[in-house]
Amino acid sequence: MLQIFQKTNINFMKYKYLAFALSGTIILAGLANIIFGKGLRPGVDFSGGTLMRILFKSPLPVADVRQALSEQGLGNSIIQEVEKGQREYIIRTAGLNRDEIQADQELEAHAILGNRIVETLKSAEDKASAERGLIDFNNAGIKEITTILQSSFPDQAAALAERIVNFQVEKGIIEDFEALREEEIPDEVIGALKDKTFLGSLTVLSRETVGPQVGKDLRRKATQATVWALLGMLVYIAVRFKLAYGVSAILTLTHDVLVTLSVFSFTHRELNLPVIAAVLTIVGYSINDTIVIFDRVRDNLKLMRKSPFEDILNASINQTLSRTVITSGTVFLTVIALYLFGGEVINDFAFTMLIGVISGTYSTIYQSCPIVLFWREIFGLGKRVRR
């Protein structure tokens, strides 16, 4: 086994009260912010609404985007620039006024809302071209392109449409019909498209619509998944070791979840399904490291029978320190690479994992072991541990 540290003798338990104070401060500040401050910002997955990713052909300042939406009564939309350049934005809005729609039509209303956003942001040239009966090429699907080509190329229309749309998706937005030559689209086909379509000023890269009832169900299921995962860990560790170790592990995992939620409340990031997936991943990652230390504690209780329990904890942490650093270090490097270079789609997941790796490594040493120590002092836990 690779050893980074040789026979370390660090007194980790010496700083247990400082660690509790630090964790308590972060968690209490986070809970105060969640309850009395800005709180957690639920994403479309949980609150319902429409989330659209829009790419413009030419740069458009975010102020202009916000003003255009405000003029159409959509001023409460959240607008986020994906990358510098003022061409790509993520636009999220909660939905229409409930007085305007029936309760059983909310999902359809969200879809209508998405169409309103697109129509609002289209240029005057786009609207004029549409009035002349032309189709927006940058927002046309396979079915529409096939219909356009059907009369002139009946045998090839479907295959050509699929190639064209795939190329369109790959490029994001087509700025000139001549770009289709890269896909070796025949000149006659390009000519037919020029006659019946126009190159719109924007394209919708993705659209996500979630109704309020679905969002409520997702919130409930996400909470249940987290709670059942924690209870499962408690039962496993209580059987594998003792109840004290199971309680310690659950409190440690709860600490990791609360720290992560606190950081999310401070940064005002969206809480969505990828974040919940990352939280559950953190639970699995953190408990693995905790079990390794507890396993070493169990062995050392036999080898160091005359030593104080606090010394046994310190020895166990030091003996597994190399493994902890190697495991946490490699995971940290992977996650930070995802965070820095993975793009907007997985940024929230990577950010959550980043916080979780740091919190999980810290809590394994400074939360799980001190909690077992305090349990022993309070309840008089015997030195015998199950095999």
Has residue 247 got a pLDDT over 50? yes
Beta bridge partners of 346: none
* CA–CA distance, 114 with 53 (Å, rounded to integer): 11
Has residue 3 got a pLDDT over 60? no
pLDDT of amino acid 295:
87
* CA–CA distance, 97 with 82 (Å, rounded to integer): 28
pLDDT of amino acid 382:
45
Domain boundaries, the chain: 12-43+211-379, 49-121, 135-202
pLDDT of amino acid 254:
87
Selected residue with higher pLDDT from 102 and 235:
235
pLDDT tens-digit map of 18-36: 999 999 999 999 999 988 8
Q: Lowest-confidence range among 22-31, 71-80, 119-128, 174-183? A: 71-80
| Percent share of the chain, pLDDT over 90 | 26
pLDDT tens-digit map of 80-125: 888 777 788 888 876 544 444 454 455 565 567 778 888 889 999 9
| Percent share of the chain, pLDDT over 70 | 89
Q: What value does the mean pLDDT of the chain take?
A: 83
Fold of 12-43+211-379: Multidrug efflux transporter AcrB transmembrane fold (1.20.1640)
Asked whether this chain's domains 12-43+211-379 and 49-121 adopt the same fold, the reply is no
**Alpha-carbon distances, residue 226 vs 101, 279, 284 (angstroms):** 34, 8, 11
Residues 306/311/317/320 CA torsion (nearest 10 deg)? -40
Q: For the whole model, what pTM was predicted?
A: 0.69
Exposed/middle/buried for residue 363 (C-beta within 10 Å: 0-12, 13-18, 19+): buried
| HSE, side-chain direction, 13 A CA sphere, residue 160 | 24
Q: Which two tokens stand for residue 37?
A: 């401050």
* CA–CA distance, 54 with 295 (Å, rounded to integer): 52
Q: Lowest-confidence range among 71-80, 309-318, 357-366? A: 71-80
In the chain, what is the straight-line distance between the N-terminal and C-terminal CA atoms, in Å? 24
Has residue 192 got a pLDDT over 50? yes
Element at 53 (helix H, strand E): strand 49-56
pLDDT of amino acid 125:
92
* CA–CA distance, 237 with 259 (Å, rounded to integer): 22
* CA–CA distance, 224 with 279 (Å, rounded to integer): 13
Q: Lowest-confidence range among 4-8, 68-72, 234-238? A: 4-8
* Length reported for the chain: 387
Closest CA to 137 of 79, 199, 211: 199
Output the CA torsion sign for 147, 153, 158, 163.
negative
pLDDT of amino acid 336:
93
Contact 197, 134 (CB under 8 A): yes
Band (pLDDT 50/70/90 cuts) for residue 184 is confident
Selected residue with higher pLDDT from 44 and 89:
89
Fold of 49-121: Alpha-Beta Plaits (3.30.70)
pLDDT of amino acid 39:
78
Band (pLDDT 50/70/90 cuts) for residue 383 is very low
What mean pLDDT is predicted for residues 142-171? 89
Output the CA torsion sign for 332, 333, 334, 335.
positive
Quickly list H helices, the chain: 16-36, 44-47, 62-71, 106-121, 124-131, 142-150, 157-171, 187-196, 212-240, 243-267, 273-303, 309-319, 321-341, 347-363, 369-379
Closest CA to 348 of 295, 279, 274: 274
Band (pLDDT 50/70/90 cuts) for residue 6 is low
Has residue 234 got a pLDDT over 80? no
What mean pLDDT is predicted for residues 48-75? 85
Band (pLDDT 50/70/90 cuts) for residue 385 is very low
